[in-house]
Amino acid sequence: MRDVIRKAVFPAAGLGTRFLPATKAQPKEMLPLVDKPIIQYGVEEALASGVDNIILVTGRGKNAIEDHFDVSVELETFLESRGKTDLLNEIRKISNLINVSYVRQGEPLGLGHAVLVTRTLVGNEPFAVILADDVIDATPPALRQMIQVFEELDGPVVAIEEVPPEDVSAYGVIDAEEVRPGVYRIRDLVEKPPRDEAPSNLAIIGRYVLTPDIFPALEETANDRSGEIQLTNGLRRLLKQRPIYGCRVAGVRHDTGNKLGYLRAVVYFALRRPDLAEPFREYLRAIDREAAVRR
């Protein structure tokens, strides 16, 4: 019987400098997409994929994330006294269904370092890593798709997506052979290669299913020029010992780590809400009409 994925790591210790001044006093992961913070979408994806043990890697000033997933007795009592059962059930839904652990990264020394500090909490079992910036709308959930590949091939799996050639230098990129539609056996991984040196346009996006042997591989991985330990470089070292696979996830991904991607995600999820879609769509049409008149 193969191991079951029971734990998901959420690195959330970054400073969120792209969203200053909004992130001066609140974590970037708590910025709302309509009425839920960005990180909750990832936690809900984990839960829908059968993973209910959440490990949050936090840093200084990230207490709001911990508070969000904790029980708020005062708020729940207030909502119950006012008969607002729908809101009460909504805020209870996540905290009642998941187990949350926290570990401090100390300094933001790269994604590989963020994964490495979870070693004690993860233990000797496979686990998932979810980067909350990548919000993926998919059925089945993106992580579930990857777990299916992991269960089939019994090896680490990274989520991949085709990106425009001009964007490859912003990602880890794989060289791989397709073993069946949407699934690749990786030959090499390169972190943020120059466009003319990229082995493909298959980019690693913010989902991983990893095995515990990634930890010694990361310990042996040298810091890059910025002083960070990159997870891609750790996986490259691990690739010398075992096969690693790529899974092209079927779904719609939004990179909320930049302002334009965040705005697109807000519009996308607002238009998928039955209570908001039509009035919001009409508002967007009105803006478009006004813009046309001004031109």
Overall average pLDDT of the 16-21 stretch: 84
Percentage of the chain with pLDDT > 70?
A: 98
CA dist 141 and 120 (Å) reads 27
**Domains in the chain, ordered, with CATH?**
7-257 (3.90.550.10), 258-295 (no CATH)
Q: What is the structure's pLDDT at 243?
A: 96
Q: Which tens digit of pLDDT belongs to each residue from 132-142?
A: 999 999 999 99
pLDDT at 82 over 50: yes
Q: What is the pTM of this model?
A: 0.92
Q: Which tens digit of pLDDT belongs to each residue from 221-244?
A: 888 888 889 999 999 999 999 999
CA dist 172 and 211 (Å) reads 19
CA dist 92 and 38 (Å) reads 17
Contact of 54 with 69, CB cutoff 8 Å: yes
Q: What is the structure's pLDDT at 1?
A: 42
Q: Which tens digit of pLDDT belongs to each residue from 179-203?
A: 999 999 999 999 899 988 889 999 9
Contact of 135 with 265, CB cutoff 8 Å: yes
Contact of 232 with 191, CB cutoff 8 Å: yes
Q: What is the structure's pLDDT at 30?
A: 92
Q: What is the structure's pLDDT at 2?
A: 58
Strands 183-191 and 134-137: unpaired
Q: What is the structure's pLDDT at 155?
A: 94
Mean pLDDT estimate for the chain: 90
pLDDT at 118 over 90: yes
pLDDT band at 295 (very low <50, low <70, confident <90, very high): low
Q: Which tens digit of pLDDT belongs to each residue from 83-110?
A: 888 888 887 777 777 788 999 887 778 8
> Residue 262 has which token pair?
């965040």
pLDDT at 160 over 80: yes
Overall average pLDDT of the 74-89 stretch: 84
Q: What is the structure's pLDDT at 254?
A: 96
> Residue 138 has which token pair?
């998919």
Contact of 46 with 166, CB cutoff 8 Å: no
